[in-house]
Amino acid sequence: MKTKLLYLVRRLAEFVVSLVALALVIFSLIFIAPGDPARVLVGTKNATPELLAQIREKYGLDDPFFVQFGRWVWGALHGNFGTSIQSGQPVTEYVAPHAQVTFELVLFSLVLSIIFGLLFGVVSAKGRGKPRDGVISAVALVGTSAPSFAIGLVFLYIFALRLGLFPIYGVGNGTWTDTLWHLALPAICLTFAVTALIIKVTRASLLVEVEKDYSTFLRARAVAPFAITAAQIRNASAPIFTSTGLVLANLFGGTILVESVFSIPGLGNLLANAVTFHDVPVIQFIALMLASMICLASAVVDIAVAFINPLSRGHRNRFPSKAAARTGEGMAL
Amino acid sequence: MNRFKKGAGIVTLLLVFILLFAACGGGSQGNGASPGGSAPAGGNGTGGKPFVVGVSGTISSLDMNQEAGILNYYISSISMEGLVGIDNSGKVIPVLAESWKDDNATVWTFKLRQGVKFWNGETMTADDVVWSIQRAMDAKRSPGVAIYFPSYVKSVAKTADDEVTITLDGPHASFIWAVSNTGGLFVTPKAWGEDTEKNGTIGSPKDLIVGTGPYIPKEFSPGSHVTYVANPNWWNGKPNMSSIRFDFFQDENTRLLAFTQGDMNFALNIPVDQSEQWAKVKGAQVNFIDDRSYFGLTFDPNVAPFNDEHVRKAVAYAIDKDSIVSGSILKGHGTAATAISAPEQFAVVMSKEEATSKLASVTHYDFDMAKAKAELAASGSAGGFETTITYPDAYPAAGQASLALADSLKQIGITLDVKEIPLDQWLNEIGNGKQGVGWMIYFPTTPEPGEIAMWLLDARGAGYNPANWTNDQVAQLTQQIMSAPTFNDQIAPIIQGNSIAQEQVIYAPVWWGQAAIAYQQGIQLKDYNSYSLLSSNWPQLFTS
């Protein structure tokens, strides 16, 4: 129990250090990037140097780097992430509705990715060398290679405009059925782009398990094929879980283009807009929030993998003996 | 069937469910109330369905004092009101002030309209107006509009229950635009404004905005849409539409697909290079109008080699404006510019024909490669040189025009590197003293004849104009424009100052732009021009 607790504490510490480092890096990058929020607010209108100076003063833009960063950290520690330069609203209030939309989209897409990734990965592994294996690999390759905005436009043209199955844009009127309907096509589009990873990992992991002695033994004992496949999936679950964490990161990254194509008012759209307007507090908050989500998901995945397969916990926290690890004892059947 | 196949069957069923769900249209098919419904919006704003306007880009706040881009103005003009506004021809009209007098354009006294109700039920008072003006004057509270209240505004005071007096340091005819909703004034109730301003929620989806105009914001989702409903208590009668919704698009292709599907009634500012595709939509009408925008080159005379007038002239002669306008770049949707201000910018004082004639008299350089070569030969950089021009990613036509210019300049030994940069970076480069040549792109909002000229010709030196140019004579002329007692008095110094600037090739105008709109079959739009979308209650121009 103590080792489990230590493991969790270590992961939490890594998580906090990662966030602080990330905050510093993002703040530095925005600081050195060319662009002046005061000028962006005024646009090409005739602003005197005095007027621009007043706007900069309001947002503390002329302060030295560490003063600005320190002020931001102090505020963040007190739950105040600043004011959006573009909208003039508190960042948390400004970002919250966008975050909700993106989390719904990503969750929807993650569920689809896991379902289709596992299914096609298993089908591909079980049919190694057969046409279905080739077809799945080819489709997965297209999904990985094609830019998601291009896939999005093709999907929109076929499924929304021509077939009329889905709406073209927006998130609907707020009821869950309408939201689901509006998010379905963008979620499928995102899924198409990231599922290849789960398919490939599932296929590769499963092929290793198929070759193992216990699989031969189970087949020889005439155990039902589904039970054998289930056992193989359980034993191959560690890399599959890990790939799911990666997929989550890719999904958040993919939302920027997909939200733009489907006119979804999510974090991706907001982030792109904030970058255009050099809205530093908003960029900083979104980046950290996404990083937190990805770090958290990664930690959850690692912990889950550790509990599924104790071998992956590292030397100090290893639960089974080395001998057991060598023989494969303790693998789930 | 084994259990593995059952698993596959479940997933297949899931797919079928998604498709069936889609076929059933989710939860809101055709109600027209939510953005992106599968059924055509079809609303004309009178029968319960909203009149849907598809716009490119988004707004982040309904508070014009905070964010005042051209899109904010278009949207806000159906809702927020100032003391004055403009009609469809750009003429000043009384709005919340029923009348006014200006003592030699110095002491402005506005008689307020009585009985005007804010949407929250409060009656508008002089205190509300004074508070709104004072807020607009404060750059920290109103970064979007404070530029309209320069230092010449000396005082703002309530001088009677129904009267507000604004005193300037001298005559300034152009001040009238400051108190219009095409410039810097959007009257909100003082108590509500103070409260929401303190909370940082003014103009947000939570508190929206409170004003007096014909349409009341009902719902606002930045990045998605903003919905307005008619104000039944509007002081000027009943608005012609019951509901208007602006849907925001980030991707032009998606907007075109949505228009094709019939999800919107009206699309603003469609891209010129896509206009043919929009016109192919069944029954759609595409209109182009001169939008008074200015696209031109700015030369910083303090940056080598552009500190040499011959170099600047060489570049000016190498701009093939006619080809840019009539060729594949603008496809005829623009006008080769002879000066900074477009002719329509003078609409409050003269006809377009008269303005065109006056602006043609401004010194300008027509495309002539022989003269370009001769000018370069006479310069201190006769052997040619290499330089860079940047353009904002939001304006690809400027990039294409830059490439055309680079081709011409190559013939005389000047290498022009063309770089696309993000909009914010480009804005930051304007007048930064490092760029020898750069683009100036300007979209006027007011009908003020000197709106662009008062900035570009403010030749007091670095920081006052985008070229960091110093010229005492032109600086004095600009002061004359700013302190002119009437709009007519502005024209002569604008023309004279503009001539000097172009004679010295500080600016090389390239084109005056056009904007395209598209609307669906069955909709009529009357007298549409560059002032229409800024005029008070512009939805009245639409009939079905």
Contact B254 A169 (CB under 8 A): yes
Q: Where are the beta strands (DSSP E) in chain A?
A: none
Using the Cβ of B221 and the Cβ atoms of chain A, whether some distance falls under 8 Å is answered with yes
Question: With contacts defined as CB-CB under 8 Å, which chain A residues touch B250?
Answer: 259-261, 263, 269, 272
pLDDT above 50 (res B27): no
Mean pLDDT confidence for B264-276: 91
Question: With contacts defined as CB-CB under 8 Å, which chain B residues touch A276?
Answer: 422-424
Tokens representing residue B465 in the block: 């104009």
Q: What is the pLDDT of residues B199-224, one digit of tens each?
A: 999 999 999 999 999 999 999 999 99
Using the Cβ of B181 and the Cβ atoms of chain A, whether some distance falls under 8 Å is answered with no
DSSP string, A194-215: HHHHHHHHHHHHHHHHHHSHHH
CA distance B74 to B528: 14
Q: Which amino acid is at B205?
A: P
Question: With contacts defined as CB-CB under 8 Å, which chain A residues touch B21?
Answer: 177, 180-181, 184
CA distance B177 to B149: 10
Closest CB to B430 among A44, A57, A89: A44
Q: What is the pLDDT of residue B10?
A: 52
Contact B26 A98 (CB under 8 A): no
Closest CB to B247 among A47, A48, A170: A170
ipTM for the predicted complex comes to 0.85
Using the Cβ of A80 and the Cβ atoms of chain B, whether some distance falls under 8 Å is answered with no
Say how many C-beta atoms besides its own lie within 10 A of residue A259's C-beta.
29
Contact B11 A115 (CB under 8 A): yes
Indicate the pLDDT class of residue B367, thresholds 50, 70 and 90. Answer: very high
In terms of CA atoms, which chain A residue is nearest residue B23? A165
Q: What is the pLDDT of residues B34-71, one digit of tens each?
A: 565 544 444 556 667 899 999 999 999 999 999 999 99
Using the Cβ of A229 and the Cβ atoms of chain B, whether some distance falls under 8 Å is answered with yes
Tokens 């940082």, residue located: B200
Q: What is the pLDDT of residue A137?
A: 87
- Cis ω on the peptide bond leading into residue B305 (within 30° of 0)? yes
DSSP string, A126-152: HTTTSHHHHHHHHHHHHHHHS-HHHHH
Tokens representing residue A332 in the block: 């789930």
Q: What is the pLDDT of residue A182?
A: 95
Q: What is the pLDDT of residue A321?
A: 40
Q: What is the pLDDT of residue A100?
A: 94
Q: What is the pLDDT of residue A147?
A: 84
Contact A35 B424 (CB under 8 A): yes
Crossing angle of helices B3-23 and A91-126, rounded to 10°: 140
Task: Report residue B29 CA to chain centroid gap.
Answer: 35
Residues in B 282-311 with any Cβ partner in A closer than 8 A: none
Rounded to the nearest 5°, which phi and psi values hold at B420? Answer: -90, 135
Q: What is the pLDDT of residue B327?
A: 93
pLDDT above 80 (res B540): yes
Using the Cβ of A146 and the Cβ atoms of chain B, whether some distance falls under 8 Å is answered with no
Question: With contacts defined as CB-CB under 8 Å, which chain A residues touch B258?
Answer: 168-169
Using the Cβ of B47 and the Cβ atoms of chain A, whether some distance falls under 8 Å is answered with no
CA distance B518 to A31: 41
Answer yes or no: are the C-beta atoms of B223 and A270 closer than 8 Å.
yes
Using the Cβ of B67 and the Cβ atoms of chain A, whether some distance falls under 8 Å is answered with yes
B379 min Cα distance to partner chain A (Å) = 32
CB pairs under 8 A between A and B: 252
Q: What is the pLDDT of residue B43?
A: 58
Contact B67 A88 (CB under 8 A): yes
pTM of the full structure: 0.87
Question: With contacts defined as CB-CB under 8 Å, which chain A residues touch B251?
Answer: 149, 153, 260-261, 263
Q: For the purposes of burial, counting CB atoms within 10 Å of the CB of A129, is it exposed (0-12), middle (13-18) or buried (19 or more)? A: exposed
Q: What is the pLDDT of residue B38?
A: 43
Using the Cβ of A225 and the Cβ atoms of chain B, whether some distance falls under 8 Å is answered with yes
Contact B67 A44 (CB under 8 A): no
Q: What is the pLDDT of residue A43?
A: 82
Using the Cβ of B441 and the Cβ atoms of chain A, whether some distance falls under 8 Å is answered with yes
pLDDT above 60 (res B454): yes
Question: With contacts defined as CB-CB under 8 Å, which chain A residues touch B248?
Answer: 263, 265
Using the Cβ of A55 and the Cβ atoms of chain B, whether some distance falls under 8 Å is answered with yes
Residues in A 157-216 with any Cβ partner in B closer than 8 A: 157, 159-161, 164-178, 180-182, 184, 188
Closest CB to A88 among B21, B22, B203: B203
Q: What is the pLDDT of residue A8?
A: 79
Say how many C-beta atoms besides its own lie within 10 A of residue B43's C-beta.
22
Mean pLDDT confidence for B449-459: 94
Q: What is the pLDDT of residue B261?
A: 94
Indicate the pLDDT class of residue B17, thresholds 50, 70 and 90. Answer: low
A298 min Cα distance to partner chain B (Å) = 27
Using the Cβ of A219 and the Cβ atoms of chain B, whether some distance falls under 8 Å is answered with no
Among A29, A30, A32, A46, the strongest candidate for a mutation testing the B interface, having the largest count of B CBs within 10 A, is A46
Contacts of B400 (CB under 8 A, 6+ apart): B324, B328, B329
Closest CB to B4 among A157, A160, A229: A229
Residues in A 12-31 with any Cβ partner in B closer than 8 A: none
Among A86, A166, A169, A232, the strongest candidate for a mutation testing the B interface, having the largest count of B CBs within 10 A, is A169
Tokens representing residue B400 in the block: 């294409």
Contact A265 B60 (CB under 8 A): no
Which pairing describes strands B51-56 and B243-249: parallel, antiparallel, or unpaired?
parallel
Closest CB to B140 among A33, A58, A229: A58
Of A278, A311, A329, nearest to A29 by C-alpha is A278
Closest CB to B204 among A89, A176, A225: A89
Question: With contacts defined as CB-CB under 8 Å, which chain B residues touch A36?
Answer: 424, 427-428
Mean pLDDT confidence for B359-382: 96
Q: What is the pLDDT of residue B36?
A: 58
B433 min Cα distance to partner chain A (Å) = 13
Q: What is the pLDDT of residue B16?
A: 52
Indicate the pLDDT class of residue B414, thresholds 50, 70 and 90. Answer: very high
Q: What is the pLDDT of residues B273-328, one digit of tens each?
A: 889 999 999 999 999 999 999 999 999 999 999 999 999 999 999 999 999 999 98
CA distance B170 to A259: 52
Indicate the pLDDT class of residue B3, thresholds 50, 70 and 90. Answer: very low
Q: What is the pLDDT of residue B209?
A: 98
Q: What is the pLDDT of residue B232?
A: 95
Using the Cβ of B249 and the Cβ atoms of chain A, whether some distance falls under 8 Å is answered with yes
Answer yes or no: are the C-beta atoms of B227 and B243 closer than 8 Å.
yes
Closest CB to A39 among B146, B427, B464: B427
Closest CB to B27 among A42, A175, A227: A175
Mean pLDDT confidence for B177-182: 95
Residues in A 83-112 with any Cβ partner in B closer than 8 A: 83-84, 86-90, 93-94, 97-98
- Ranges under pLDDT 70 in chain A: 1, 309-333
Say how many C-beta atoms besides its own lie within 10 A of residue B67's C-beta.
25
Q: Which amino acid is at A280?
A: V
E strand or H helix that includes residue A2: helix A2-32
DSSP string, A104-125: HHHHHHHHHHHHHHHHHHHHHH
Q: What is the pLDDT of residues B130-178, one digit of tens each?
A: 999 999 999 999 999 999 998 899 999 999 999 999 999 999 999 999 9
